[in-house]
Amino acid sequence: IYDLERSRYSADLTYRLGGRNRLSGGIEFEETDRSMVDVATTDETTGYLKLDFSPMATSSGWLKFTRSERDASTYDSTVPFVTGHNPQYVATLVGNQLFENDPLLRRYHINDRDRDEVSGSLNFYPSDLIGISLLGKYAIDDYPDALVGISETENRNFAADLSLSPDSNWTASI
């Protein structure tokens, strides 16, 4: 039977800089325990620093930096295969027959990973009728133990939203 258990602890602190501007930071710790998977436990620590700003009544935004480090327990790529087959059948196998994949390949979602991420948002409300929002995010993931497969990834995201509110009962956005 596959088991999954997560424990998450976090703390956040916010400081009002003046006006509608705030500086906040926080840390989160997450421990995940699994059975029948290549890695029994992962511990992930994430910290962030965020600046919320509103220079005018018609605009606001935020900028955020996040650092995350995930540490996995000993990697054993035979676990999924061995736990998914009859023990008598497994006893007849040798060497690479015990692996579903290359034994050096690591599953990215449970492997050690370091992530740096920068994200931000800008919102403009030039009138009661129109709203414009922009959101961007850039992240780099580094997998330090990868010998085969993914060793680093870059993710870029951008979104834009235009909203129209002809009156208080109607809103349309694209």
How many whole angstroms separate alpha carbon 150 and alpha carbon 132?
37
- CA 119 to CA 121: how far, in whole Å? 7
Q: Write the pLDDT tens digit of every residue in 75-119.
A: 877 776 667 777 787 778 777 766 666 666 677 778 899 999 999
Please give the average per-residue pLDDT across 42-54, as a whole number.
97
The pLDDT score that the predictor gives to residue 25 is 98
Contacts with 154 (C-beta within 8 Å, 6 or more apart), sequence order: 138, 139, 140, 141
What proportion of the chain, given as a percentage, has pLDDT over 90?
Answer: 56
pLDDT at position 153, please? 94
**Tokens found for residue 157:** 């995201």
Q: One-letter amino acid identity for 155?
A: N
In residues, how long is the chain? 174
- Which pLDDT belongs to residue 76? 78
Question: Alpha-carbon distance 131 to 171, whole Å?
Answer: 10
Higher pLDDT, 122 or 149: 122
List 43's β-bridge partners, or say none. Answer: 31, 71
Mean pLDDT of 110-139: 95
Burial level of 7, CB count in 10 A (0-12/13-18/19+)?
exposed
